[in-house]
Amino acid sequence: MDYYVSLTTVVAAAICFLALLGTIFFNRKSRSHQENKTMASSLTLLDPTYSFPHSWKHHVFPSFHGEDVRKNFLSHILKEFRSKGIDLFIDNDIERSKPIGPELIEAIKGSRIAIVLLSENYTSSTWCLSELVEIMKCREKLGQTVISLFYEVDPTDVKKQTGKFGKVFKKTCKGKTKSDIKIWKQALVEVAKIAGYHSRNWKTDAEMIKDIATDVSYKLNHSAPSSDFEGLVGIESQMTKIGSLLQLDSDEVRKIGILGPPGIGKTSIARSLYNRHSQDFQLSVFIDNIKRKYVIPTCSDDYSVKLYLQKQFMSLLTNETDIKIPHLGIVKDRLKDRKVLVVLKVQL
């Protein structure tokens, strides 16, 4: 009798979760899909010279003005990044000249993440400005991740080339062609629009550097290609079939069930699906074995069960361990305009 009660409770839990999925969790913003379509269209027009290498040469490419940061701030970044196993490209051995050379361009293209360290004298160097232009090209054409770091400068001054930052830039522009100046300005505007790190928002450089290193480590981990399912026969054909069912370009709610006896690869397919597509969603969660994780007391009424499940669900989805769900309308309100992927493993 105990086993039977536990089993029916688990089935009820799974049904509640699935019901929630159908009414709340897969709503998608039309705007985000339009952006995806625009991006997909632009990819077909890429410059053939812009393509990611088969293997990454560096984790991070930092663009900076050496005199401002090399001896202090940058040295602390290097130390913190290396302690986390993050490799930065440093151009000490490259001979600098007016135009940046092919070696540096390849280093930019061969880095997963570019960090633009914008300091007061950053634009005093045409070399730095040329680096920035190449970085923004890689961001636009290759989807490279770019992190802007405003070190003792205001993002508005970078965007509008005003204040001390602007004075330095205007001095550099003297004698330069209108074409070069226009390209530099455009790159500065674009990098200033990126939500980044502002040194004035941290009490100490050490705190900010620690947060940046943690963020970079997270981004690297989530951008790394998965090798979990290499060698599994037939996994790609299954991914193709399920991918067509997902219809990622659709605004509709999609619910897909993978059924069958133990040992046929259901979990492997679900995990591969999650690993491959979770980055396409604003929020995602893989709930492994509802039966083991969510044992609901037999005396719970229907409302209490739903409230409990929603609390557990939101805690996993948002990474908030102490989240409060006072009523059933909270989850719908929080996620109604979000693009969410939920994978549930129900083992009876």
Residues marked active site are found at 131
Residue 319 DSSP one-character state: T
Q: How far apart are CA 310 and CA 293, in angstroms?
A: 14
Closest CA to 66 of 5, 3, 151: 151
Strands 340-344 and 197-198: unpaired
Q: CA dist 56 to 60, 88, 215, 288, 330, Å?
A: 10, 12, 19, 32, 43
Q: CA dist 106 to 43, 51, 81, 88, 100, Å?
A: 20, 10, 22, 14, 11
DSSP 20-59: HIIIIIT---HHHHHHHHHHHHHHTT--TT----SS-SEE
Half-sphere exposure of 289 (CA within 13 A, CB side): 2
Q: How far apart are CA 143 and CA 9, in angstroms?
A: 46
Give me 149's structure tokens. Answer: 């770091």
Q: CA dist 164 to 70, 119, 160, 176, 190, Å?
A: 20, 10, 12, 20, 19
Q: How far apart are CA 229 and CA 56, in angstroms?
A: 21
Q: How far apart are CA 161 and CA 172, in angstroms?
A: 12
Q: CA dist 294 to 9, 71, 290, Å?
A: 9, 53, 6
Q: How far apart are CA 33 and CA 151, in angstroms?
A: 35
Q: Is 110 exposed, middle or buried (0-12, 13-18, 19+ CB in 10 A)?
A: middle
- Dmax over CA atoms of the chain, in Å, equals 88
